[in-house]
Structure 1
Amino acid sequence: MLYIIMVVILQAIITLAVLLFLAQNRKSFLNMLLLYIVTVILDMGYEYFIINRFGYESILYEIPGSLRIFKGLIFLYITFNFIEFKWRDKLKYLLYPFSMIVLLHTFALSAKLFGYQEADAIIHFYKTYFVNYYIHYWACSLIICIFLLYKYQNKIQNPLFKQFRLFLSFILASMLAFWCSFKFGFDILLFQKIYTLLFLVQFAWILYVYVLTHQEQLKKNMQQPVVEVVIKEKYQYKDLSKIDFEKIKIRIEEFYSESQEYLEDTFTLDHLARHLSVSRTDLTITFNQYLTSNFHEYTNRNRVLRFKRMLEEEPDANVTDLAYQCGFKSKSTFYKYFKKEFNCLPTEYAF
């Protein structure tokens, strides 16, 4: 009995740890893929324990592990990351009802294992208001993701989004096939084995996408020094006297004053170059020689100043949330530039 209770509690702790990770690292595509892989492994391990300990027909197996509910949310985060959806961080508010499901799941199973009479009523409530609607939540999440990936496919720059879209379609087809077999009275145990094999295919597929994404990121990092060398060579053969750098400087300052595009965490020097119709080389020279900074320093300084104004307007706002809204990908980066600008931490600053 103690061993079973430990497994149930451990599953709840791991689930809440996944929640915390999701809340703090929702900006990175690689982090989200890795989170999904970890979620799948933990969910499969939990189900394997339930099946082997209680069998397919057990009331415990009829209640899915609470980790399973996060897959749809993770897919939504990844999809919104692909299409650079501006308000994707608002998805974090879905974590609160999911946390309640985790606690109810753990409480229901613990009560059942201890043999409390109220356990059956709790489990009935859990099954009625969550398990019976889980298939709809899961299907809707997948359909929304697939629809958005098709609708905005021309705007998505990441070449791996097609793999991810095909992967979601495969999961949706597998899930619907399993649901139909159950509704039409097919041998559910036989199809469960087939579905398990399909599940392993899903896992291998997403692992493959993760490896490809990681390799793509490594290539970009390796190519970065080469780009800098090319830029330096362009400086040597360009007649800089014909370029009005003062005008470019004014346009840069006006952009950061009037636009909010730099608050996107995906904002790059290329985005600024396209917006101002100025070459990367000319922008780099302007930042270095006329603004005594570089693109990243200048952008993050303006983000910090924007954060200060937003916090003055809304003093009760969450500091971390505002930092993410201002384009910072991590708290450490935000604190670094805030301290550099104001010589103190946000909590120490007197607004």
Structure 2
Amino acid sequence: MVCKRLPGSPDVGGPTVDTVLDPGAARPGGVLSGQVRLVGGTVDHDVEHVALELVARVEAGHARDDGQAGQAGQAGHGDDGDGDGQGEGDVVFGRHTVGGAFRLAAGEHRSVPFTLSLPWETPVTELAGRPLGIALGVRAAPAVAGTGDQGESGPLTVAPLTVAPLPAQEAILEAFGRLGFGFRSADLESGRIGGTGQRLPFHQEIELTPPPPYAHQVNEIELTFLAVPGALEVVLEADKRGGPFFDGHDALSRFTVPHEGSAGPQDWNALVDGWVRELVEHRESYGSHAVYGHESGRLAGTGSDTGTVVGAGEA
């Protein structure tokens, strides 16, 4: 819950607003609910509406020229010109208007309930209850009549938003953990990934350290999830090690799976291991938009193994 001074009101004796989210983690593409609680100040205010903004802390993008965008099974990470590779800032990735016009009397307590849908590409902030270091939040911005303020001014204050992974995201991360990959870090990068259906102006990158069988070939693997209704696009990038006669370089591959367990593949370990082998060996045996699955809808690897990929990085 975050308390802030109502925009356009005096510093002393003005109304305040709290954003309160319902308990529990949300999921990408799921429903987020809560309420905005306002307390009137020393004078009456006419509130035209209450705007809710989804906010993310995003790092400036890094331009990359991999020369592979558009090839089958591969896509390049690229900067859209918004960043210079340094610094970070707050990005609004969703706006919703809740409640109609009302008068907030002096000293009055008023609650405005809300329910909204999160974008499918909403980043994941935790895995098995462990935070990944991603900062998301919900900001309430009341528009006050007669002040010219439409909720865009004032300091950024947000109610922290927790987002758990979709079933397929969780299964893929579990599979990486069982294959020996460790969690290094996660962040949000501005810019879009070429050749994908990405809609938000930023994307999440989860950096994984390789197990011994791949440690001599790659420094790390970066994992990005791009979800849409019914499917999950998985983008993998390997920072390949150089040798005495050649320089290191980045290799990229892209895959698509159903994001619901009822249509997902059963053997996630074998699937993810195949992805990594293709990425490292530069094969193109998988199509860029193929969906890999089995008839069984059971997700493999759910349960206590979820934290493996996180714990390995911490160790």
TM-score over 0.5 (shorter chain): no
Q: Which has the higher contact order (CA 8 A, sep 6+)?
A: 2
Q: TM-score, normalised by structure 2?
A: 0.22
Going by fraction, where is strand more abundant, 1 or 2? Answer: 2
Going by fraction, where is helix more abundant, 1 or 2? Answer: 1
Q: TM-score, normalised by structure 1?
A: 0.21
